[in-house]
Protein backbone atom coordinates (compact mmCIF):
# COMPACT_ATOMS: atom_id res chain seq x y z
CA UNK A 1 0.00 0.00 0.00
CA UNK A 2 1.41 3.35 -1.04
CA UNK A 3 2.49 5.47 1.90
CA UNK A 4 1.21 9.04 2.07
CA UNK A 5 4.28 11.16 2.62
CA UNK A 6 4.36 14.50 4.42
CA UNK A 7 3.39 17.31 2.04
CA UNK A 8 6.02 19.49 0.47
CA UNK A 9 5.93 23.26 0.88
CA UNK A 10 4.66 23.51 -2.70
CA UNK A 11 1.80 21.13 -1.97
CA UNK A 12 0.84 23.08 1.16
CA UNK A 13 0.83 26.44 -0.57
CA UNK A 14 -0.24 25.48 -4.11
CA UNK A 15 -3.28 27.27 -5.39
CA UNK A 16 -2.42 30.73 -4.06
CA UNK A 17 -4.51 30.34 -0.90
CA UNK A 18 -4.72 33.71 0.75
CA UNK A 19 -5.45 34.35 4.40
CA UNK A 20 -8.48 36.40 3.42
CA UNK A 21 -9.98 33.40 1.62
CA UNK A 22 -9.46 30.88 4.37
CA UNK A 23 -10.65 33.30 7.06
CA UNK A 24 -14.16 32.75 5.75
CA UNK A 25 -14.09 29.17 7.03
CA UNK A 26 -15.01 30.12 10.56
CA UNK A 27 -16.87 33.28 9.65
CA UNK A 28 -16.33 36.96 10.43
CA UNK A 29 -17.20 36.54 14.11
CA UNK A 30 -13.95 34.68 14.67
CA UNK A 31 -11.85 37.63 13.42
CA UNK A 32 -13.13 40.87 14.98
CA UNK A 33 -10.88 43.66 16.18
CA UNK A 34 -9.52 43.48 19.73
CA UNK A 35 -11.89 46.29 20.68
CA UNK A 36 -14.83 43.86 20.54
CA UNK A 37 -13.42 41.85 23.43
CA UNK A 38 -13.15 38.69 21.33
CA UNK A 39 -10.93 36.00 22.85
CA UNK A 40 -9.34 33.60 20.40
CA UNK A 41 -10.03 29.95 21.25
CA UNK A 42 -7.85 27.16 19.90
CA UNK A 43 -10.51 24.46 19.50
CA UNK A 44 -12.81 25.90 16.83
CA UNK A 45 -13.50 22.63 14.99
CA UNK A 46 -14.73 20.49 17.85
CA UNK A 47 -13.69 16.96 18.71
CA UNK A 48 -14.47 13.59 17.17
CA UNK A 49 -13.91 9.88 17.67
CA UNK A 50 -14.11 6.90 15.37
CA UNK A 51 -13.29 3.32 14.45
CA UNK A 52 -13.93 1.83 17.91
CA UNK A 53 -12.59 -1.62 18.78
CA UNK A 54 -12.82 -3.66 21.97
CA UNK A 55 -9.81 -1.88 23.49
CA UNK A 56 -9.14 1.21 21.39
CA UNK A 57 -10.69 4.21 19.67
CA UNK A 58 -9.43 7.03 17.45
CA UNK A 59 -9.84 10.54 18.88
CA UNK A 60 -9.43 13.75 16.89
CA UNK A 61 -9.34 17.54 17.11
CA UNK A 62 -7.83 20.53 15.35
CA UNK A 63 -5.86 23.30 17.07
CA UNK A 64 -5.90 26.89 15.78
CA UNK A 65 -2.82 28.22 17.62
CA UNK A 66 -3.20 31.80 16.34
CA UNK A 67 -5.91 33.74 14.53
CA UNK A 68 -3.90 33.49 11.31
CA UNK A 69 -3.29 29.72 11.50
CA UNK A 70 -6.59 28.72 9.90
CA UNK A 71 -7.07 25.50 7.90
CA UNK A 72 -5.06 25.35 4.71
CA UNK A 73 -2.97 28.42 5.50
CA UNK A 74 0.26 26.57 6.30
CA UNK A 75 0.81 29.10 9.10
CA UNK A 76 1.51 28.65 12.79
CA UNK A 77 4.25 27.20 14.95
CA UNK A 78 4.26 23.67 16.34
CA UNK A 79 2.09 23.37 19.45
CA UNK A 80 1.90 20.79 22.22
CA UNK A 81 -1.49 19.30 22.99
CA UNK A 82 -2.48 17.32 26.08
CA UNK A 83 -5.11 14.62 25.60
CA UNK A 84 -7.05 12.84 28.34
CA UNK A 85 -9.50 9.94 28.44
CA UNK A 86 -11.64 9.41 31.55
CA UNK A 87 -14.65 7.52 32.81
CA UNK A 88 -16.37 10.59 34.27
CA UNK A 89 -17.33 14.01 32.95
CA UNK A 90 -15.22 15.85 35.54
CA UNK A 91 -12.09 13.92 34.52
CA UNK A 92 -11.35 12.88 38.09
CA UNK A 93 -10.96 9.28 36.86
CA UNK A 94 -8.46 9.64 34.00
CA UNK A 95 -7.60 6.21 32.61
CA UNK A 96 -4.99 7.32 30.09
CA UNK A 97 -3.43 10.56 28.84
CA UNK A 98 -0.46 11.94 26.96
CA UNK A 99 0.91 14.81 24.90
CA UNK A 100 1.41 15.21 21.17
CA UNK A 101 2.85 17.97 19.00
CA UNK A 102 1.02 19.18 15.91
CA UNK A 103 2.13 21.64 13.23
CA UNK A 104 1.29 22.85 9.69
CA UNK A 105 2.48 19.57 8.15
CA UNK A 106 -0.75 17.98 9.41
CA UNK A 107 -2.74 21.24 9.20
CA UNK A 108 -2.56 21.41 13.01
CA UNK A 109 -4.89 18.41 13.32
CA UNK A 110 -4.48 15.88 16.12
CA UNK A 111 -5.44 12.26 15.51
CA UNK A 112 -4.35 9.37 17.69
CA UNK A 113 -5.26 5.83 18.61
CA UNK A 114 -6.10 5.49 22.30
CA UNK A 115 -5.39 1.90 23.35
CA UNK A 116 -5.63 -0.15 26.54
CA UNK A 117 -9.34 0.51 27.05
CA UNK A 118 -11.99 -1.94 28.28
CA UNK A 119 -14.63 -3.53 26.00
CA UNK A 120 -18.13 -2.09 25.81
CA UNK A 121 -17.36 0.98 27.93
CA UNK A 122 -18.30 4.63 27.61
CA UNK A 123 -15.37 7.07 27.85
CA UNK A 124 -15.03 10.85 27.90
CA UNK A 125 -12.11 12.61 26.22
CA UNK A 126 -10.76 16.13 25.83
CA UNK A 127 -7.74 18.10 24.66
CA UNK A 128 -5.84 21.04 26.18
CA UNK A 129 -3.57 23.52 24.40
CA UNK A 130 -2.18 26.48 26.29
CA UNK A 131 -5.00 27.68 28.54
CA UNK A 132 -7.73 26.42 26.20
CA UNK A 133 -9.66 23.20 26.81
CA UNK A 134 -11.63 21.54 24.04
CA UNK A 135 -15.26 20.49 24.28
CA UNK A 136 -15.65 17.11 25.94
CA UNK A 137 -16.26 14.20 23.61
CA UNK A 138 -18.12 10.99 24.41
CA UNK A 139 -17.20 7.68 22.81
CA UNK A 140 -17.45 3.97 23.50
CA UNK A 141 -15.56 0.79 22.73
CA UNK A 142 -17.18 -2.24 21.12
CA UNK A 143 -18.25 -5.35 23.07
CA UNK A 144 -15.73 -8.13 23.60
CA UNK A 145 -15.48 -10.79 20.86
CA UNK A 146 -18.37 -13.27 21.04
CA UNK A 147 -19.97 -11.25 23.84
CA UNK A 148 -23.74 -10.84 23.90
CA UNK A 149 -24.17 -7.30 22.64
CA UNK A 150 -27.89 -7.28 23.38
CA UNK A 151 -29.09 -4.77 20.81
CA UNK A 152 -27.21 -2.11 18.85
CA UNK A 153 -28.35 1.13 17.22
CA UNK A 154 -26.52 2.88 14.41
CA UNK A 155 -27.18 6.22 12.78
CA UNK A 156 -26.79 5.87 9.00
CA UNK A 157 -26.15 8.93 6.80
CA UNK A 158 -24.69 10.05 3.49
CA UNK A 159 -24.52 12.96 1.04
CA UNK A 160 -24.24 16.12 3.17
CA UNK A 161 -23.78 19.10 0.84
CA UNK A 162 -23.05 22.34 2.75
CA UNK A 163 -24.45 24.57 -0.01
CA UNK A 164 -27.72 22.62 -0.29
CA UNK A 165 -28.89 23.13 3.29
CA UNK A 166 -28.38 22.87 7.02
CA UNK A 167 -27.25 19.68 8.72
CA UNK A 168 -30.35 19.29 10.90
CA UNK A 169 -30.21 15.53 10.40
CA UNK A 170 -27.00 15.45 12.41
CA UNK A 171 -28.63 17.45 15.23
CA UNK A 172 -31.53 15.05 15.51
CA UNK A 173 -29.19 12.06 15.62
CA UNK A 174 -27.10 13.75 18.33
CA UNK A 175 -30.19 14.42 20.42
CA UNK A 176 -31.23 10.75 20.52
CA UNK A 177 -28.63 9.64 23.06
CA UNK A 178 -29.10 5.95 22.20
CA UNK A 179 -26.64 5.36 19.33
CA UNK A 180 -23.63 3.06 19.50
CA UNK A 181 -22.04 4.60 16.40
CA UNK A 182 -22.77 6.61 13.25
CA UNK A 183 -22.09 4.91 9.91
CA UNK A 184 -21.29 7.55 7.29
CA UNK A 185 -21.44 6.10 3.78
CA UNK A 186 -19.67 8.88 1.93
CA UNK A 187 -19.95 12.35 0.44
CA UNK A 188 -19.11 13.80 3.85
CA UNK A 189 -17.93 16.93 1.99
CA UNK A 190 -18.59 18.20 -1.53
CA UNK A 191 -15.95 19.61 -3.86
CA UNK A 192 -18.04 22.14 -5.82
CA UNK A 193 -17.62 25.88 -6.10
CA UNK A 194 -20.32 28.31 -4.86
CA UNK A 195 -23.41 28.38 -7.04
CA UNK A 196 -23.04 24.81 -8.28
CA UNK A 197 -25.01 21.75 -7.15
CA UNK A 198 -26.77 23.80 -4.49
CA UNK A 199 -30.34 24.04 -3.18
CA UNK A 200 -33.25 23.11 -5.38
CA UNK A 201 -34.21 23.66 -8.97
CA UNK A 202 -32.33 26.98 -9.32
CA UNK A 203 -29.16 25.91 -7.45
CA UNK A 204 -29.30 28.64 -4.83
CA UNK A 205 -26.68 28.45 -2.07
CA UNK A 206 -28.24 28.16 1.38
CA UNK A 207 -24.69 28.86 2.55
CA UNK A 208 -21.68 29.05 0.26
CA UNK A 209 -18.58 26.93 0.12
CA UNK A 210 -15.09 28.01 1.09
CA UNK A 211 -12.73 28.27 -0.63
CA UNK A 212 -14.91 30.00 -3.26
CA UNK A 213 -13.89 27.57 -6.03
CA UNK A 214 -13.85 23.85 -6.70
CA UNK A 215 -11.41 22.03 -4.45
CA UNK A 216 -8.31 20.84 -6.31
CA UNK A 217 -5.24 21.45 -4.15
CA UNK A 218 -4.28 20.24 -0.69
CA UNK A 219 -4.95 23.70 0.73
CA UNK A 220 -8.40 23.70 -0.92
CA UNK A 221 -9.41 20.37 0.61
CA UNK A 222 -8.12 21.40 4.02
CA UNK A 223 -10.18 24.59 3.91
CA UNK A 224 -13.29 22.69 2.84
CA UNK A 225 -12.93 20.07 5.59
CA UNK A 226 -12.37 22.88 8.06
CA UNK A 227 -15.53 24.64 6.96
CA UNK A 228 -17.67 21.53 7.36
CA UNK A 229 -16.24 20.90 10.82
CA UNK A 230 -17.54 24.34 11.95
CA UNK A 231 -21.15 23.24 11.52
CA UNK A 232 -22.57 23.10 15.07
CA UNK A 233 -24.84 20.13 14.39
CA UNK A 234 -22.02 18.08 12.91
CA UNK A 235 -19.74 19.09 15.79
CA UNK A 236 -22.33 17.97 18.33
CA UNK A 237 -22.87 14.59 16.66
CA UNK A 238 -19.13 13.98 16.45
CA UNK A 239 -18.82 14.84 20.15
CA UNK A 240 -21.60 12.42 21.13
CA UNK A 241 -20.96 9.28 19.06
CA UNK A 242 -18.00 7.56 17.35
CA UNK A 243 -18.14 7.67 13.53
CA UNK A 244 -17.34 4.78 11.20
CA UNK A 245 -16.81 6.28 7.75
CA UNK A 246 -15.95 5.52 4.18
CA UNK A 247 -15.62 7.82 1.20
CA UNK A 248 -17.59 8.02 -2.02
CA UNK A 249 -16.75 10.36 -4.89
CA UNK A 250 -17.32 13.95 -3.71
CA UNK A 251 -14.55 13.75 -1.11
CA UNK A 252 -12.32 13.91 -4.21
CA UNK A 253 -14.26 14.71 -7.40
CA UNK A 254 -17.51 13.60 -8.99
CA UNK A 255 -17.27 10.05 -10.38
CA UNK A 256 -13.62 9.47 -9.53
CA UNK A 257 -11.74 6.24 -10.07
CA UNK A 258 -7.96 5.70 -9.78
CA UNK A 259 -7.24 7.12 -13.23
CA UNK A 260 -9.42 10.21 -13.26
CA UNK A 261 -12.85 11.64 -12.54
CA UNK A 262 -16.05 12.43 -14.38
CA UNK A 263 -15.67 16.15 -13.76
CA UNK A 264 -11.89 16.56 -13.49
CA UNK A 265 -10.78 18.93 -16.24
CA UNK A 266 -7.31 19.24 -17.86
CA UNK A 267 -6.86 22.80 -16.59
CA UNK A 268 -7.22 21.49 -13.02
CA UNK A 269 -3.85 19.78 -13.27
CA UNK A 270 -2.68 16.25 -12.69
CA UNK A 271 -5.45 14.04 -11.29
CA UNK A 272 -3.00 11.88 -9.33
CA UNK A 273 -1.86 14.95 -7.38
CA UNK A 274 -5.47 16.00 -6.80
CA UNK A 275 -6.33 12.51 -5.52
CA UNK A 276 -3.32 12.52 -3.20
CA UNK A 277 -4.30 15.94 -1.87
CA UNK A 278 -7.92 14.95 -1.22
CA UNK A 279 -6.99 11.73 0.55
CA UNK A 280 -4.27 13.45 2.57
CA UNK A 281 -6.73 16.08 3.84
CA UNK A 282 -9.30 13.38 4.57
CA UNK A 283 -6.69 11.46 6.57
CA UNK A 284 -5.88 14.59 8.57
CA UNK A 285 -9.44 15.70 9.23
CA UNK A 286 -11.37 12.46 9.80
CA UNK A 287 -11.32 10.13 12.86
CA UNK A 288 -10.51 7.08 10.76
CA UNK A 289 -7.72 4.53 10.48
CA UNK A 290 -6.29 4.58 6.95
CA UNK A 291 -3.84 1.84 6.13
CA UNK A 292 -4.76 0.20 9.42
CA UNK A 293 -3.49 3.00 11.68
CA UNK A 294 -4.52 6.42 12.94
CA UNK A 295 -1.10 7.84 11.99
CA UNK A 296 -1.52 10.43 9.23
CA UNK A 297 0.32 9.27 6.13
CA UNK A 298 0.32 5.53 6.81
CA UNK A 299 -1.73 4.60 3.76
CA UNK A 300 -5.02 5.05 1.93
CA UNK A 301 -6.75 1.71 2.52
CA UNK A 302 -10.15 2.52 4.02
CA UNK A 303 -11.90 -0.84 3.68
CA UNK A 304 -11.89 -2.60 7.04
CA UNK A 305 -13.93 -4.58 9.58
CA UNK A 306 -15.40 -3.28 12.84
CA UNK A 307 -16.68 -6.05 15.13
CA UNK A 308 -19.44 -5.59 17.72
CA UNK A 309 -19.25 -8.68 19.92
CA UNK A 310 -21.03 -11.70 18.52
CA UNK A 311 -23.86 -9.63 17.04
CA UNK A 312 -22.40 -7.58 14.17
CA UNK A 313 -19.48 -7.60 11.81
CA UNK A 314 -19.48 -4.26 9.97
CA UNK A 315 -17.49 -4.39 6.72
CA UNK A 316 -16.79 -0.94 5.29
CA UNK A 317 -16.00 -0.87 1.55
CA UNK A 318 -14.07 1.46 -0.76
CA UNK A 319 -15.96 1.51 -4.08
CA UNK A 320 -13.95 4.30 -5.68
CA UNK A 321 -10.28 3.59 -5.10
CA UNK A 322 -10.04 0.28 -6.96
CA UNK A 323 -12.80 0.35 -9.57
CA UNK A 324 -12.40 0.27 -13.32
CA UNK A 325 -13.55 3.36 -15.20
CA UNK A 326 -17.27 3.65 -15.73
CA UNK A 327 -18.41 2.76 -19.26
CA UNK A 328 -21.56 3.49 -21.25
CA UNK A 329 -24.39 1.03 -20.86
CA UNK A 330 -24.06 -0.26 -24.45
CA UNK A 331 -20.30 -0.87 -24.12
CA UNK A 332 -19.52 -4.62 -24.35
CA UNK A 333 -16.90 -4.11 -21.60
CA UNK A 334 -19.75 -3.82 -19.07
CA UNK A 335 -20.16 -7.62 -19.12
CA UNK A 336 -16.44 -8.39 -18.97
CA UNK A 337 -15.65 -10.95 -16.24
CA UNK A 338 -12.48 -8.99 -15.47
CA UNK A 339 -14.34 -5.76 -14.76
CA UNK A 340 -13.80 -4.65 -11.16
CA UNK A 341 -15.82 -2.52 -8.77
CA UNK A 342 -13.83 -3.48 -5.67
CA UNK A 343 -10.50 -4.59 -7.10
CA UNK A 344 -9.39 -8.20 -6.73
CA UNK A 345 -7.72 -7.77 -3.33
CA UNK A 346 -10.70 -6.05 -1.69
CA UNK A 347 -13.11 -8.57 -3.24
CA UNK A 348 -11.15 -11.50 -1.80
CA UNK A 349 -11.03 -9.75 1.57
CA UNK A 350 -14.79 -9.16 1.51
CA UNK A 351 -15.82 -12.72 0.68
CA UNK A 352 -13.27 -14.14 3.14
CA UNK A 353 -14.66 -11.93 5.90
CA UNK A 354 -18.24 -12.91 5.07
CA UNK A 355 -17.44 -16.62 5.02
CA UNK A 356 -15.38 -16.52 8.22
CA UNK A 357 -17.75 -14.26 10.19
CA UNK A 358 -19.28 -15.78 13.30
CA UNK A 359 -21.46 -12.72 13.93
CA UNK A 360 -25.23 -12.88 13.67
CA UNK A 361 -25.41 -9.91 11.28
CA UNK A 362 -23.01 -9.10 8.47
CA UNK A 363 -23.49 -5.39 7.68
CA UNK A 364 -21.74 -4.06 4.58
CA UNK A 365 -21.04 -0.32 4.38
CA UNK A 366 -21.54 -0.01 0.62
CA UNK A 367 -21.37 3.55 -0.75
CA UNK A 368 -23.28 2.95 -4.03
CA UNK A 369 -26.44 0.92 -4.64
CA UNK A 370 -25.95 -2.82 -5.10
CA UNK A 371 -29.47 -3.87 -6.14
CA UNK A 372 -30.07 -4.09 -9.91
CA UNK A 373 -32.41 -1.30 -10.88
CA UNK A 374 -34.45 -0.69 -14.02
CA UNK A 375 -35.87 2.77 -14.59
CA UNK A 376 -39.29 3.10 -16.19
CA UNK A 377 -39.92 5.37 -19.14
CA UNK A 378 -41.41 8.60 -17.80
CA UNK A 379 -42.13 12.09 -19.17
CA UNK A 380 -38.91 13.91 -20.01
CA UNK A 381 -38.85 16.22 -16.95
CA UNK A 382 -39.22 13.28 -14.59
CA UNK A 383 -36.55 11.33 -16.44
CA UNK A 384 -34.09 14.19 -16.19
CA UNK A 385 -34.70 14.52 -12.45
CA UNK A 386 -33.94 10.85 -11.90
CA UNK A 387 -30.91 11.07 -14.20
CA UNK A 388 -29.47 13.96 -12.24
CA UNK A 389 -30.22 12.49 -8.82
CA UNK A 390 -28.57 9.18 -9.52
CA UNK A 391 -25.72 10.77 -11.50
CA UNK A 392 -26.30 9.58 -14.12
CA UNK A 393 -29.23 7.17 -14.48
CA UNK A 394 -29.80 5.50 -17.82
CA UNK A 395 -33.20 4.59 -19.12
CA UNK A 396 -35.24 1.66 -20.33
CA UNK A 397 -35.45 -1.97 -19.29
CA UNK A 398 -31.93 -2.72 -20.49
CA UNK A 399 -30.19 0.47 -19.36
CA UNK A 400 -28.84 0.43 -15.80
CA UNK A 401 -26.91 3.09 -13.91
CA UNK A 402 -23.31 2.13 -14.70
CA UNK A 403 -21.88 4.19 -11.83
CA UNK A 404 -23.38 1.73 -9.30
CA UNK A 405 -22.92 -2.05 -9.08
CA UNK A 406 -25.15 -2.21 -12.19
CA UNK A 407 -22.07 -1.14 -14.15
CA UNK A 408 -20.08 -4.08 -12.77
CA UNK A 409 -22.58 -6.95 -13.10
CA UNK A 410 -20.14 -9.85 -13.32
CA UNK A 411 -18.41 -9.00 -10.06
CA UNK A 412 -21.77 -8.40 -8.36
CA UNK A 413 -22.91 -11.80 -9.61
CA UNK A 414 -19.74 -13.41 -8.25
CA UNK A 415 -20.30 -11.79 -4.83
CA UNK A 416 -23.92 -12.86 -4.60
CA UNK A 417 -23.06 -16.39 -5.73
CA UNK A 418 -20.54 -16.70 -2.91
CA UNK A 419 -23.16 -15.54 -0.40
CA UNK A 420 -25.76 -17.91 -1.84
CA UNK A 421 -23.54 -20.99 -2.22
CA UNK A 422 -21.97 -20.65 1.21
CA UNK A 423 -25.35 -20.15 2.82
CA UNK A 424 -24.28 -16.92 4.51
CA UNK A 425 -27.30 -15.59 6.37
CA UNK A 426 -28.23 -12.12 7.57
CA UNK A 427 -26.22 -10.03 5.09
CA UNK A 428 -27.40 -6.42 4.90
CA UNK A 429 -25.95 -3.84 2.53
CA UNK A 430 -26.12 -0.27 3.87
CA UNK A 431 -25.92 2.09 0.90
CA UNK A 432 -25.98 5.80 0.08
CA UNK A 433 -25.04 8.00 -2.91
CA UNK A 434 -28.38 8.28 -4.75
CA UNK A 435 -29.98 10.92 -2.43
CA UNK A 436 -33.15 8.83 -2.15
CA UNK A 437 -34.45 6.13 0.22
CA UNK A 438 -34.83 2.45 -0.70
CA UNK A 439 -35.32 -1.00 0.82
CA UNK A 440 -34.36 -3.72 -1.65
CA UNK A 441 -34.28 -7.49 -1.55
CA UNK A 442 -31.12 -8.76 -3.24
CA UNK A 443 -32.10 -11.90 -5.10
CA UNK A 444 -29.88 -14.85 -6.02
CA UNK A 445 -29.89 -17.21 -8.99
CA UNK A 446 -33.03 -18.98 -7.74
CA UNK A 447 -34.95 -15.74 -7.48
CA UNK A 448 -35.11 -15.91 -3.69
CA UNK A 449 -33.56 -13.07 -1.66
CA UNK A 450 -30.05 -13.82 -0.37
CA UNK A 451 -29.37 -10.40 1.19
CA UNK A 452 -31.12 -7.12 1.92
CA UNK A 453 -30.21 -3.54 1.10
CA UNK A 454 -31.21 -0.41 3.00
CA UNK A 455 -30.39 2.87 1.23
CA UNK A 456 -30.41 6.12 3.20
CA UNK A 457 -31.54 9.38 1.66
CA UNK A 458 -29.29 12.44 1.54
CA UNK A 459 -28.70 14.74 4.48
CA UNK A 460 -29.10 17.75 2.16
CA UNK A 461 -28.15 16.91 -1.45
CA UNK A 462 -30.86 17.42 -4.05
CA UNK A 463 -33.29 14.60 -4.80
CA UNK A 464 -36.00 14.09 -7.39
CA UNK A 465 -38.62 16.70 -6.43
CA UNK A 466 -35.81 19.25 -5.93
CA UNK A 467 -34.58 18.79 -9.49
CA UNK A 468 -38.11 18.91 -10.93
CA UNK A 469 -39.08 21.96 -8.88
CA UNK A 470 -42.28 20.19 -7.79
CA UNK A 471 -43.94 19.91 -4.41
CA UNK A 472 -42.89 16.92 -2.30
CA UNK A 473 -45.12 13.85 -2.55
CA UNK A 474 -46.79 15.01 -5.75
CA UNK A 475 -45.31 13.92 -9.09
CA UNK A 476 -42.79 11.62 -7.41
CA UNK A 477 -45.48 9.31 -6.03
CA UNK A 478 -46.36 8.05 -9.50
CA UNK A 479 -42.67 7.65 -10.29
CA UNK A 480 -42.20 5.51 -7.17
CA UNK A 481 -45.14 3.32 -8.16
CA UNK A 482 -43.70 2.82 -11.64
CA UNK A 483 -40.28 1.90 -10.21
CA UNK A 484 -41.83 -0.62 -7.83
CA UNK A 485 -43.90 -2.17 -10.62
CA UNK A 486 -40.79 -2.64 -12.78
CA UNK A 487 -38.61 -3.81 -9.88
CA UNK A 488 -40.56 -6.20 -7.61
CA UNK A 489 -37.52 -6.58 -5.34
CA UNK A 490 -37.97 -2.92 -4.27
CA UNK A 491 -39.89 -3.03 -1.00
CA UNK A 492 -39.81 0.71 -0.29
CA UNK A 493 -38.75 3.81 -2.22
CA UNK A 494 -39.02 7.52 -1.45
CA UNK A 495 -37.65 9.99 -3.97
CA UNK A 496 -38.37 13.25 -2.12
CA UNK A 497 -37.35 13.41 1.52
CA UNK A 498 -34.02 14.31 3.12
CA UNK A 499 -32.84 13.04 6.47
CA UNK A 500 -31.17 10.12 8.18
CA UNK A 501 -31.70 6.51 9.18
CA UNK A 502 -31.49 4.54 12.40
CA UNK A 503 -30.70 0.82 12.20
CA UNK A 504 -31.43 -1.36 15.22
CA UNK A 505 -30.23 -4.98 15.33
CA UNK A 506 -30.54 -7.77 17.86
CA UNK A 507 -30.50 -11.57 17.76
CA UNK A 508 -34.10 -11.73 16.49
CA UNK A 509 -34.00 -9.21 13.69
CA UNK A 510 -32.97 -5.92 12.10
CA UNK A 511 -35.12 -2.82 11.83
CA UNK A 512 -34.39 0.22 9.66
CA UNK A 513 -36.15 3.53 10.29
CA UNK A 514 -36.05 6.37 7.75
CA UNK A 515 -36.44 9.81 9.34
CA UNK A 516 -37.23 12.91 7.30
CA UNK A 517 -36.42 16.50 8.18
CA UNK A 518 -39.03 19.17 7.50
CA UNK A 519 -36.91 21.57 5.43
CA UNK A 520 -33.16 21.44 4.78
CA UNK A 521 -33.18 25.22 4.22
CA UNK A 522 -34.32 25.67 7.84
CA UNK A 523 -31.54 25.44 10.42
CA UNK A 524 -34.19 24.50 13.01
CA UNK A 525 -35.91 21.85 10.92
CA UNK A 526 -38.08 19.30 12.72
CA UNK A 527 -38.07 15.58 12.04
CA UNK A 528 -40.60 12.79 11.61
CA UNK A 529 -40.40 9.06 11.09
CA UNK A 530 -40.96 8.37 7.42
CA UNK A 531 -40.99 4.57 7.22
CA UNK A 532 -39.82 1.39 8.92
CA UNK A 533 -38.79 -1.90 7.32
CA UNK A 534 -37.69 -5.04 9.16
CA UNK A 535 -35.88 -8.34 8.66
CA UNK A 536 -36.29 -11.47 10.73
CA UNK A 537 -33.02 -13.24 11.52
CA UNK A 538 -32.41 -16.01 9.00
CA UNK A 539 -34.54 -14.38 6.30
CA UNK A 540 -33.74 -11.70 3.72
CA UNK A 541 -37.38 -10.88 3.07
CA UNK A 542 -38.17 -7.28 3.96
CA UNK A 543 -41.41 -6.58 5.79
CA UNK A 544 -43.23 -3.32 6.42
CA UNK A 545 -43.67 -2.40 10.08
> Which residues make Cβ contacts (< 8 Å) with residue 272, sequence separation at least 6?
none
| pLDDT tens digit sequence for 288-326 | 999 999 999 999 999 999 999 999 999 999 999 999 999
pLDDT, tens digit, for every residue of 157-170? 999 999 999 999 99
Q: For 501-522, what is each residue's pLDDT tens digit?
A: 999 999 999 999 999 999 999 9
Each residue's pLDDT tens digit, 477-488: 999 999 999 999
Band the pLDDT of 30: cuts 50, 70, 90: very low
Residues of the chain with pLDDT > 70: what percent? 89
Residue 9, pLDDT > 70, answer no
Q: Which segments of 14-151 does DSSP mark as H helices, in order?
A: 19-23
Answer whether residue 117 shows pLDDT above 90. yes
Asked if 189 and 228 count as a contact pair (C-beta separation under 8 A), the reply is: yes
**CB 244 within 8 Å of CB 313:** no
User: Prior bond to 392 cis, omega within 30?
Assistant: yes
pLDDT digits (tens, 9 = 90+) for 335-386: 999 999 999 999 999 999 999 999 999 999 999 999 998 877 767 667 666 6
Residue 140 β-bridge partners: 122
Contact at 8 Å (CB) between 14 and 219?
Answer: yes
* Spatial CA neighbour of 275 closest among 307, 254, 252, 296: 252
Q: What is the pLDDT of residue 25?
A: 36
Which H helix or E strand runs over 513? Answer: strand 509-517
Give 39's pLDDT tier (boundaries 50, 70, 90): confident
Q: Would the pLDDT of 10 be above 50?
A: no
Q: Which H or E element spans position 499?
A: strand 499-505
pLDDT recorded at residue 377:
73
Angstrom distance (rounded) from CA 81 to CA 99: 5
Q: Where does the pLDDT of residue 243 fall: very low under 50, low under 70, confident under 90, or very high at 90 and above?
A: very high
Contacts of 515 (CB under 8 A, 6+ apart): 169, 172, 499, 500, 501, 502, 527, 528, 529, 530
pLDDT number for residue 378? 67
The reported pLDDT for the residue numbered 401 is 78
Q: Is residue 196 classed exposed, middle or buried when 0-12, 13-18 and 19+ CB atoms within 10 A define those classes?
A: middle
**7 pLDDT more than 50:** no
Identify which of 242, 299, 174, 227 has the alpha carbon closest to the alpha carbon of residue 62.
227
* Average pLDDT score, the chain: 90
| pLDDT given for residue 469 in this prediction | 87
Amino acid 8: pLDDT? 39
Provide the pLDDT confidence category of residue 32 given band limits of 50, 70 and 90: very low
What domains, with CATH codes, occur in the chain? 302-497+514-529 (3.60.21.70)
Give the residue with greater pLDDT, 28 vs 435.
435
pLDDT tens readout for residues 379-437 = 766 766 666 665 433 434 445 678 899 999 999 999 999 999 999 999 999 999 999 99
pLDDT at 17: 32
Q: What is the pTM for the complete model shown?
A: 0.92
Q: What is the mean pLDDT of residues 120-131?
A: 98
Amino acid sequence: MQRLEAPSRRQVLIGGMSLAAVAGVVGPAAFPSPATGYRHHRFQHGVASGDPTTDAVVIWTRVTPTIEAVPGSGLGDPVEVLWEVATDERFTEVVTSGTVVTDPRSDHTVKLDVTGLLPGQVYLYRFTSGTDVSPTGRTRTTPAPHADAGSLRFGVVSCANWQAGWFSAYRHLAERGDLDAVIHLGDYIYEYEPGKYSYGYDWVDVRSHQPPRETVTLADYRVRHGQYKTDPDLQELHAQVPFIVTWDDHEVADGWFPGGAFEHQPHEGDFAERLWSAQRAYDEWMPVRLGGTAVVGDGNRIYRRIRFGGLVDLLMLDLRGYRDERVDVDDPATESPDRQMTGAEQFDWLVDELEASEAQWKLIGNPVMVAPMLMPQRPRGQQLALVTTTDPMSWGPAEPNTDTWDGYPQQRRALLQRIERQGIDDVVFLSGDVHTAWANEIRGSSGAPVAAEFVCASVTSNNVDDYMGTSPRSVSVAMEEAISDLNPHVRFVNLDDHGYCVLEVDAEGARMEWWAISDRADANASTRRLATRALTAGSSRIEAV
